[in-house]
Structure 1
Amino acid sequence: MDIFRCWDPDKVALIYTRADLPDTPVCNRYFQISESSIIKSVLKPWMKIGRVVENTHVVKQADVDAEHARYTKAHKKSSNLLPLLREVVWKIGRWKTPALKRFVQDFAPDIIFVPIYPVAYMGRIQQYIIKLTGKPTACYLADDNYSYDSCEGVLQYIHRFWLRQQAGPIARNCKQMFVIVEKEKEDTDTRFGTNSVILTKCIDFTGRSYQHKTPNKPLKFVYTGSMIIGRDKTLALVADAINAVNTKLGETKAEMYIYSQTEPNDEIRKRIDNGASHFCGRVSREEVLRVQQESDVVIFAEALEGKEANVAKLSFSTKITDYISNGKCVLAIGKNYIAPIDYFNRNDSAIIANTKEQICEQVERIVNHPELIDEYGEKAFYCAVRNHEKGMMNKRFIDIMLKVLK
């Protein structure tokens, strides 16, 4: 959504696979292939699949609820079989329809913008559109959706093999590759022979300057986001560290508040909803922005153990851009070789912990030296100005897309 804010919405068409309606001002033409309809088409192959939608359409709430329930169940169970079953359903399902072909041909695109997703079925849809139109493509890779580095177990390797069969040819044959962070550029250019360009969420800094802050008493640490792929274990370590520091000092010097729609298991919940650490569950987007703004330290957390530590190897969360553009002091936790930590290191824009022991050390350091909160908040803000300013990023995107057309 953020990438195309600089584009004329009448000149953008989106093909998407969710059950709900699009919620974005950057596009006015949509074609929906919902997963619920694909599942039904396996049992009823005569069904008509796919439809042109507008924001004024009435959504089938039952389909949205069923889709949400599937995703919640998949995340909670962390099953390696479910992604494979999903791919099989999409392989059998009848998404390649006259309605989809007509939508693409009626819009008559000049260029195809292709995000490389972590699912093979999207690659099949994208390759069909590329072949149908014969138009040049620009790709966007915002995660490690190609290597086997994060795979654990036979089923994950099988799924990644299927994904590579789609992502590889798309990446190698595109006219331009965009990536989200410097470390990913290095990996992608080596792997696919591309000359990729960094493209991230952009921020309008017009009339904005860094505002110095006075820390709260006690200090307020805040985490907002999902707790999947090992992040829950990392947050439990932060909770343990905060409680240990408070005990050591004999008073509550710091508190942590976790806002997430991920439901932790009983063992993790006992640690993150304990003492000065509070699990607050799911809240609205507006409430998330409020608690972030009122925090002293925002936490960026990735897994520290096993293959889960590699999941964010080449990713860059848009939350990072939000944090630093708002001048927040970031406690960033993860292995040094993953892209987000590499970014913070290159820009000296966060307080970083790579191990359990360093989490304890950095929490105690912040508590004993609260002036670090303002120091790193200022560093973060000017890092955002250098790397994510709206005018610079929009010009880069538009100029390169026009170059691809030529």
Structure 2
Amino acid sequence: MRILFVSSSPVNRQTSIGNSFLNLFDGFDAEFYSLYSRTGYPDKKIKSAFRIAEAQLVKNIFNSKKIGKKVENYEETTLEDKSAQKLETTVKLNQSQLKYIARDAVWKLAPWKNENLRAYIEEVNPDLIFSVLSSNSAVNDMAAYAAKISGAKVILYAWDDNYSYPYSKSPLLRAAQFFRRKKMRKTAALASDLFVISDIQKYDYEKIFSRECKVITKGADFSKREEKPVLHNNPLKILYAGNLALGRSETISHITKALEKINRDGKKAELRIYSATPLTDEQKKVMADSSNSFFMGSVSALEVQKLQSEADILIHAESFKEEYFNLIHYSFSTKLVDCFHSAKCIFAVGPEKAASIDCLIKNDAAVVAKSDDEIYEKLNRLINDKNMIDEYAAKAWEYGKKSFDRVNIQRLLKESIEKVLQKRN
């Protein structure tokens, strides 16, 4: 079986999408291929890849021969890659939503549906295309084009709310979203199966797209919990590792303020923050005061596992700001599964109507602060009660074992793929 992943980011352990795809398909008897648009290189489990670099689209908008190429060397970073990475970072730091309209326009005008891409798709000849359903029209278009050329079946996975209208009342932004929604409906109609990440999203998307949706998440091996003596650090080690976009950096800054208050009579706990999210110096300064909390930059997924095993408390954070709610209320962070698997106490902060927070509350799998005002009260109590830390570490593991065992998750995925491919034959 040949599976073609279509995404914006490369499929590797350092990207959220890559981490999820590789986790879901770990151990599958299949060959994996990748079609993507951002800088970076795929995991070595990917047999071959093709990249349509967005920087190329801008430079060669009237020259189709120079757009898109097969990725040959998964290790070497060229000067062209470094230049594109710099551009991507600049774009990420730009808060204007107009950048997405500009991106859509470039993809609409550039001749990326060319012989380079067609030849690659025909060479791969995939049996299945596995992609995301998002408001990124470029990814939706790439998946649709690959399906048209190859005749392969399509399975889509949606894990953020990219369908709702933006918080902004700007007529231009709302008009742009109108056309993206139309594209999402058209793309969803191509799919033989549509996976979502939470029960809340399943309920809404089944109504929106008039079809059955199946809930699937990243899984882990919960067959055996590592037995080791519980020794707490002094001061306690608190860890946040993950995305800081969509207002999460501000939530972390509130945790830092709570820690500053808790530590006034002596250092009881320290927070270390690891993230690859591009941030301004001012954002870093507000979030990490270098006394109670420290910004450590980015580390590999393997290093994150080690850091989690050494920590006392792990942080899950979402924003309380209304402008971000539509973007996060369906989401269930893949990092949460890693937190459950580490068997560590989780301290979660976020609105209770967000899917991840709702799940943690209903299953009593974390200590949860449902408002900014609760952060100090809940965190102070937790830091001063080691038994409570141990209790919620056990609860995190037990909930993970019950709901996110990789064997059960992969069984659902395999059954779905087998049914889809039987229809093709």
- Give, in whole Å, the separation in 1 of the partners of 2:127 and 2:301: 35
Count of equivalent residues = 400
Query: What pairs up with 1:129-148 in 2 under 5 angstroms?
Result: 129-148=146-165
Specify the alignment match of 2:269 in structure 1.
254
Q: 1:153 to 1:303 in 2, by over 3 A?
A: farther
Query: What pairs up with 1:160-239 in 2 under 5 angstroms?
Result: 160-209=177-226, 211=228, 213-239=230-256
Letter in 2 for 1:40: K
Letter in 1 for 2:40: D
- Secondary structure class of the residue paired with 1:88: helix
Pick from 294, 299, 303 the counterpart of residue 278 of structure 1. 294
- Give, in whole Å, the separation in 2 of the partners of 1:264 and 1:226: 14
Question: TM-score, normalized by length of structure 2?
Answer: 0.87
Pick from 53, 69, 75 the counterpart of residue 51 of structure 1. 69
How far 1:332 moved relative to its partner?
Answer: 0.9
Specify the alignment match of 1:401 in structure 2.
417
How far 1:52 moved relative to its partner?
Answer: 2.8
Given the alignment of the two structures, is residue 35 of structure 1 paired with residue 54 of structure 2, yes or no?
yes
- Give, in whole Å, the separation in 1 of the partners of 2:247 and 2:93: 12
Given the alignment of the two structures, is residue 337 of structure 1 paired with residue 357 of structure 2, yes or no?
no
Q: 1:218 to 1:233 in 2, by over 3 A?
A: same
How far 1:383 moved relative to its partner?
Answer: 1.2
Specify the alignment match of 1:14 in structure 2.
34
Q: 1:74 to 1:50 in 2, by over 3 A?
A: closer
- Secondary structure class of the residue paired with 2:279: coil
How far 1:114 moved relative to its partner?
Answer: 2.6
How far 1:303 moved relative to its partner?
Answer: 0.9
Q: 1:153 to 1:394 in 2, by over 3 A?
A: same
Deviations 1:110-130 (A, max 9, x none): 333231133111112222223
Query: What pairs up with 1:70-89 in 2 under 5 angstroms?
Result: 70-89=87-106
Letter in 1 for 2:269: A
Specify the alignment match of 1:312 in structure 2.
328
- Give, in whole Å, the separation in 2 of the partners of 1:152 and 1:290: 44
Letter in 1 for 2:59: K
Pick from 356, 365, 371 the counterpart of residue 381 of structure 2. 365
Q: 1:74 to 1:382 in 2, by over 3 A?
A: same
How far 1:149 moved relative to its partner?
Answer: 5.3
Q: 1:6 to 1:339 in 2, by over 3 A?
A: same
Q: 1:114 to 1:240 in 2, by over 3 A?
A: same
Q: 1:232 to 1:155 in 2, by over 3 A?
A: farther
Letter in 1 for 2:221: D
| Stretches of structure 2 lacking an aligned partner (at least 5 in a row) | 1-21
How far 1:154 moved relative to its partner?
Answer: 4.4
Question: TM-score, normalized by length of structure 1?
Answer: 0.91
Deviations 1:30-87 (A, max 9, x none): 2222222222211x42533222334x46755223212221222122221222222122
Letter in 2 for 1:5: D
- Give, in whole Å, the separation in 1 of the partners of 2:254 and 2:66: 50
1:181 and 1:343 in contact (8 A); partners too? no
1:304 and 1:355 in contact (8 A); partners too? yes
1:75 and 1:228 in contact (8 A); partners too? no
Letter in 1 for 2:253: A
| Stretches of structure 1 lacking an aligned partner (at least 5 in a row) | none
